Structure 1
Amino acid sequence: MTEVNDAAPSVVITGGARAEEARELAERLAAESVASELTMGNPTLWGPEAEAEAAVRLAWTGLARTSRPLLGEIAALRSDLHAEGVDRVVLAGMGGSSLAPEVITAAAGVPLTVLDTTDPGQVADALAGDLSRTVLVVSSKSGSTVETDSHRRIFEAAFEAAGIVASSRIVVVTDPDSPLELTARTAGYRHVFRADPNVGGRYSALTAFGLVPAGLAGADVGALLAEAAAAAPALSRDEASNPALVLAGLLGAALSRGAEKVVFADNESGLPGFADWAEQLIAESTGKDGTGLLPVVVEGIDAPNFADAGDDATTVAVGAPTEAATVAVSGSLGGSFLLWEYATAIAGRLLGINPFDQPDVEAAKKAARSLLDADSDAPTGDPVLVDGAVELYAPGAWQPPAGADLDEAITAFVAATPDQGYLSIQAYLDREQDASASVLRRELARNAGVQTTFGWGPRFLHSTGQYHKGGHQNGAFLQITGVAEEDLEVPERPYTLATLQLAQALGDGQVLAEKGRPLLRVHLTDRLAGLARLVHAVQTVRGADR
């Protein structure tokens, strides 16, 4: 067992052979001065094709220092809001704009309502909160994120309908001169935080995107920056003991021998949801050019896909070491953010890819926009099978066997997963009211014996969605959509939230089908009954059938 301990988080590798592989690569990276060159912002580390992008994406290494001026600004705004009786924070954001604040506030034990969805029921639940005490933080790097723009429009109308001056209750976080900043200035919104434009969304945990919503909600974001500052010196050293070099070396060595999955389980870390943040960072940074590392977030160290992971996976315990894990990583939240950012960027060098672009994310967005532009009622085609509250659609080349019932169709779909591939469950549902859908990951992983991921749509499109289209093409995709019991109009837009949600599912499915991936969409005409029937069908699957 090899251990790396410092002011930075701890990296503990189980197994001599794995530790030796990581050490050898860490020594090479140290000899190449990768850590110090990265800290100084050298954009040439990933080759000439990545240089232009990297040149404007490396400011995150110094955020522990450069973000400190934000602290007073956040504290003053929070004080002013509280003086007006406004103490409920709702965050409208996707991907890097929502995942970090959610982890920060969960670790701090303070409430934050996160809207990273287009499900009308989930948005309606947020609207049903006490608007007289609510401030909406609208967070978008590009300033044109369709989900976030929809939330802004809906809440603005709701504030006004409740007799509240909407502009006094909307705070914006965005890049300088984005369309959202222009909208905010024109409308006179309460406050505009201009984020550092030289930091990509998934590396933005310690920028205004992470700090503003978390700080307004009551998290000690000053302590978070102090934790990152304490870890920074160890992560920038060109030494083989640098935890970031060791972790990057472990991931790079694993991929070189075919272990492209990275399975995360929390093990008493005190950082709830950290793996969901790391999932986006790793998948979107590395999943391109037909390669990459696929994060698989599981329920615990005893979950299927972890203790029984095959040789195509590296298992990561977030927290305490365990013999069930290849590696355990622990430490403060601020230090952990920085460690994984360093390790992921450096792993990109080992993989020979640009860790700062996301060339395949736009494909699903473009397909969804095309469906919305063509018709406000997105076309669905005819189901290949109807079983009570469940309709099955197979829009790609893969089709279930003729005459199959639901159980047989699900079993056949699982069997279509490539050897050492993975299953991806994508639930375009209400993350709160339809939370039982998440049990499908455990059940399918256990019964199919295949690495299985679970993502709430459309939030995963800003995360693992890049890997699905740009990484190893060995996935099979199970989409879940459902009839919305209630819908919400999006002011000044020709679509409702339910229409947008379905268009996002169909658009992403279209791109996956065009890539020849096995794709099955399960549509629930009654969400509660349909989910129960789907869980039963999944429980009939057996790995021996593959």
Structure 2
Amino acid sequence: MSSDQVQAGGLTVTLRGAAGDASRTALETLGTDGVAARLAAKDATLWGPGAEAEASVRLGWVDLAESSRALLPRIREIAEAKRAAGLDRVVLAGMGGSSLAPEVIAASRGADLVTLDTTDAHQVRRAIGTDLARTVVVVSSKSGGTVETDSHRRAFEQAFTDAGIDPAERVVVVTDPGSPLAGLAAERGYETVLADPDVGGRYSALTAFGLVPSALAGVDVEALLDEAAAVAATLADDDNPALALGAVLGGFGGHDKVVLAGRTPAGLGDWIEQLVAESTGKSGTGLLPVVVEGVDAPGFTPGPDTHLVVYGEDAAPGADTADTLVTGPLGGQFLAWEYATAVAGRLLGIDPFDQPNVQESKDNTKALLESSNNGTLPTGAPLLVDGAVEVHASDPALLGDAKDLAAVLQALVRSVPEDGYLAVMAYLDRDAEGDGRAATVRSGLAALTPRPVTFGWGPRFLHSTGQYHKGGPANGVFAQITGEVTQDLPVPGRPYSFARLQLAQALGDFGALAERGRPAIRLHLRDRVAGLEELSRALGAVRP
């Protein structure tokens, strides 16, 4: 099989067979239009008149490898002061673009960082109740009003106060200038680092959002910027690897399922997933990222619409089977994928910087919280109960004549169209239940269907693939998993608890899917341990 390889700035992109053909064709068009140089120069007209206003204030990421260096002295000062005070446990409270990149950075550099990007009461309780005496909390929100992060901040402030600790000694804020969080931080004396407002959340890996929590955890973030700078120096060239990656992402006709396989850097697939899904999944089109455990993952079957991308700092397992192979250091990977996604947006004819459908679920959640009586949410009566699992559906016809959980799962996988996908969304405890049955649901369902199966933790996927689910092609089928909360936690200063917020988010997104005619079921675990065990047994009983 023929292959093309483009290498520069420590980054290598290798394209094989039809992927190479597609990239060459797209590169001709991009070269004729001068896209490489124009994007490197932050030309906001690249995506058409309808996107120009948004793009004009969203291209700051292009030169972050240099502009973010101005933040380094301040970041070092804060990090050194916290370590000198004995605060060596770092908790990051943030969602989506505010959490995914730092999680990857810390994991890839061997640093300890507790990422709190959930509203699960059990997980939040554990984050607050562990080693509070040596904990510093980074409260990270671009808008300054993210409901999950605001709730985390309130809970930690209460915990610090109850323990006789001044929150001003323990809270570090990262936000945009002029946000409500910036104002609150100033009032309360919190250490604050302001981010570049001309960078969207999912493009913010190399801004203060990625650098501050990583540096507090002990990462040499200047080295990360150096890696990005090597790639940045090549971006105006017509033969740069990031342009080749963007050309194949946006120009590989019919291959709209981008399967991401790679074990290092740890978590990079989840970061790419948000970047690509939220940037391209709109106006009924887009690229669906499917993060798998590896090219040898159980149930993974390449299809005619599947683009297999293997990534890694070095040649990764399965590299010889990839349509596209991307290798290079983490800082370079961040910048290259951002640049490639912007290029893919041009080829797909969409605005890669907006997220028009994300707000739907947020609005539904707010309405549910405001209208519920006595804290009771309208969950509706289950259509079926099998042991510890309740089954709800957006349309009862989706279940057919199913009488048990195995039949429900069989009906679910059989409802996925030939060009579609199945998305699993688990509103559970990622730490406690992520290493058990919940983590095997994707591979278990993938073994039952040749169609791609994605997996997302709620509510964090709402800041990622949630845009694609509602704005992308109408060919998805959805399985939501919720669970009973045994130890709830109030959100200080709010008329709801974490359990109520989490369920409202699940119901809000379920409603948004139903309103758009997306087939969805909700599996509610009356007992999480027993319910997950029953779900596992049911998966084993389904006939392919």
TM superposition score normalised by structure 1: 0.96
The residue that corresponds to 2:99 in the other structure is 98
Identical-residue share of aligned pairs (%): 56
Q: Which moved more, 1:401-410 or 1:527-536?
A: 401-410
The answer to whether the Cα contact below 8 Å between 1:8 and 1:243 also exists between their aligned partners in 2 is no
Q: Which amino acid aligns with 1:282?
A: V
The answer to whether the Cα contact below 8 Å between 2:250 and 2:343 also exists between their aligned partners in 1 is no
The answer to whether the Cα contact below 8 Å between 2:251 and 2:344 also exists between their aligned partners in 1 is no
The residue that corresponds to 1:402 in the other structure is 401
The answer to whether the Cα contact below 8 Å between 1:444 and 1:539 also exists between their aligned partners in 2 is no
**Structure 1, unaligned stretches of length 5 or more?**
none
Taking the TM superposition and a 5 Å limit, the aligned residue runs for 1:206-285 are 206-237=206-237, 239=238, 241-254=239-252, 256=253, 258-266=254-262, 270-285=264-279
Taking the TM superposition and a 5 Å limit, the aligned residue runs for 1:27-176 are 27-176=28-177
Taking the TM superposition and a 5 Å limit, the aligned residue runs for 1:369-380 are 369-375=366-372, 376-380=375-379
**Within 2, Cα distance between the matches of 1:51 and 1:305?**
42
Deviations 1:40-86 (A, max 9, x none): 11100000000000000001000000000111111111111112111
The answer to whether the Cα contact below 8 Å between 2:106 and 2:214 also exists between their aligned partners in 1 is yes
The answer to whether the Cα contact below 8 Å between 1:417 and 1:518 also exists between their aligned partners in 2 is no
The answer to whether the Cα contact below 8 Å between 1:30 and 1:245 also exists between their aligned partners in 2 is no
Alignment of 1:344 with 2:338, yes or no, is no
From 322, 325, 343, the counterpart of 2:322: 325
The residue that corresponds to 2:13 in the other structure is 11
**Within 1, Cα distance between the matches of 2:121 and 2:256?**
36
Deviations 1:359-415 (A, max 9, x none): 000000000111000013211000111111111111336431235211111111111
The answer to whether the Cα contact below 8 Å between 1:425 and 1:478 also exists between their aligned partners in 2 is yes
**Within 2, Cα distance between the matches of 1:358 and 1:299?**
27
The answer to whether the Cα contact below 8 Å between 1:426 and 1:480 also exists between their aligned partners in 2 is yes
The answer to whether the Cα contact below 8 Å between 1:314 and 1:326 also exists between their aligned partners in 2 is yes
**Within 2, Cα distance between the matches of 1:24 and 1:291?**
21
Q: Which amino acid aligns with 1:316?
A: V
The residue that corresponds to 2:205 in the other structure is 205
Q: Which amino acid aligns with 1:193?
A: V
The residue that corresponds to 2:486 in the other structure is 485
Taking the TM superposition and a 5 Å limit, the aligned residue runs for 1:378-389 are 378-389=377-388
Q: CA RMSD in A?
A: 1.2
Q: Note the C-alpha offset of 1:427.
A: 0.1
From 319, 331, 335, the counterpart of 1:334: 331
Q: Secondary structure at the match of 2:307?
A: strand
Deviations 1:239-293 (A, max 9, x none): 2x21122111111222x3x2111001115xx311101000000000000000000
Q: Secondary structure at the match of 1:68?
A: helix
Deviations 1:499-542 (A, max 9, x none): 00000000000010111111100000110110011122122334
Deviations 1:140-169 (A, max 9, x none): 000000000000000000000011001221
Q: Which amino acid aligns with 2:461?
A: F
**Within 2, Cα distance between the matches of 1:521 and 1:500?**
17
Q: Which amino acid aligns with 1:284?
A: E
Change (3 A) 1:243 1:403: closer
Runs of 4+ in 1 over 6 A off after TM superposition: none
The answer to whether the Cα contact below 8 Å between 1:283 and 1:292 also exists between their aligned partners in 2 is yes
**Within 1, Cα distance between the matches of 2:529 and 2:145?**
34
The residue that corresponds to 2:475 in the other structure is 474
Q: Secondary structure at the match of 1:354?
A: coil
Q: Which amino acid aligns with 1:226?
A: D
Q: Secondary structure at the match of 1:67?
A: helix
**Within 1, Cα distance between the matches of 2:10 and 2:346?**
21
Q: Which amino acid aligns with 1:76?
A: E
**Within 2, Cα distance between the matches of 1:146 and 1:18?**
41
The answer to whether the Cα contact below 8 Å between 2:394 and 2:519 also exists between their aligned partners in 1 is no
The answer to whether the Cα contact below 8 Å between 1:398 and 1:518 also exists between their aligned partners in 2 is no
Q: Secondary structure at the match of 2:399?
A: coil
**Within 1, Cα distance between the matches of 2:186 and 2:491?**
21
Deviations 1:226-251 (A, max 9, x none): 000011122221x2x21122111111
The residue that corresponds to 1:298 in the other structure is 292
Name the count of aligned residue pairs.
534
